[in-house]
Amino acid sequence: MEIASKVINMATFTSQVNFNLKHKAMVCEPLLLELKAINEFVHFEEEPDMPGPYRKHIFDARIQQQVLVNVRRHLQKHQGEETTDSILVECGDFIG
């Protein structure tokens, strides 16, 4: 994570994440993996009283809107899947 944070351009990263969430109908395991990756950046170097350096970029890019669209799609068609509980936990920061 340390290395990735030094070489990733956040504008490019957030643009690619938004594109992936918008144009690839992610459900089940692919959606869960994408949410886990996004959350790694959201919580990177986060302190109890101070958000991490990437949280603002991710929320300013409005990634949470695409996350919720994909979570709704997952719940409509795959609610009984074993990944559903994990997906709901991972999207917790985006349902604020």
Q: What is the mean pLDDT of each run of 10 residues along the chain (96 residues)?
A: 78 94 92 95 89 91 94 93 95 85
Q: Which pLDDT score, from 0 to 100, does residue 48 have?
A: 85
Distance in angstroms (rounded) separating the CA atoms of residues 71 and 57: 21
Q: How many domains does the chain have?
A: 1
Q: Which pLDDT score, from 0 to 100, does residue 72 have?
A: 94
Q: Which pLDDT score, from 0 to 100, does residue 78 have?
A: 93
Neighbour count for residue 24 (Cβ, 10 Å): 12
Q: Range of 11's domain?
A: 2-95
